[in-house]
């Protein structure tokens, strides 16, 4: 059984930019519930079907299966009204891999960093560019962002 353990953070500045090149990801959701999500993701010429279920706010069961690119494109176009478009930057730092996601489309302007861990209590070094941890806030999951765009949240609306 696959298990994903990750922590999620806002970024406090852009000092991470320029460390690595990013790659475009497009993903859509067939099911978005707190207890489970079903996602299709395209990265370059590769595509996957991913199923996740909650264990805790930090851990999830995760099962990911490669699927044909053409199937993924059809599924996204025909069956996934909830989409997320982003550019992912993979930054190796102090023995851990950080993934910085810069969102576009309906979530343009949002940038988040994630770290995957082997254990919920595993220690890690926080890069200087990390801001507030938002792991416990389910609104910062890609699944939620596919349904409720970040700029529409009350605290992000202009007065």
Q: Which residues are catalytic?
A: 29
Distance CA 112, CA 10 (A): 5
Q: Give the three-class secondary structure for 75.
A: helix
Quick one: 77 exposed, middle or buried, by C-beta within 10 A (0-12, 13-18, 19+)?
A: exposed
Distance CA 1, CA 8 (A): 23
Residues whose CB falls within 8 Å of the CB of residue 156, separated by 6 or more in sequence, listed in order? 150
The widest CA-to-CA distance across the chain, in whole angstroms, is 47
Distance CA 142, CA 5 (A): 15
The tokens describing 23, both together, are: 């790659």
Q: How many residues does the chain have?
A: 159
């Amino acid at each position: 059984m696959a298990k994903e353990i990750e922590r999620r953070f806002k970024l406090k500045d852009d000092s991470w930019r320029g460390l690595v090149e990013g790659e475009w990801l497009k993903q859509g959701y067939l099911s978005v519930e707190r207890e489970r999500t079903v996602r299709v993701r395209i990265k370059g010429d590769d595509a996957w079907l991913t199923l996740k279920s909650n264990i805790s706010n930090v851990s999830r069961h995760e099962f990911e299966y490669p699927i044909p690119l053409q199937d993924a494109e059809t599924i996204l176009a025909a069956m996934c009204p909830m989409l997320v478009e982003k550019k992912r930057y993979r930054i190796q730092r102090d023995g851990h891999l950080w993934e910085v996601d810069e969102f576009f489309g309906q979530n343009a302007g949002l940038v988040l960093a994630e770290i995957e861990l082997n254990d919920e209590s595993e220690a890690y070094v926080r890069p200087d560019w990390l801001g507030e941890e938002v792991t416990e806030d389910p609104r910062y999951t890609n699944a939620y962002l596919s349904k409720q765009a970040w700029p529409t949240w009350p605290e992000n609306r202009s007065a």
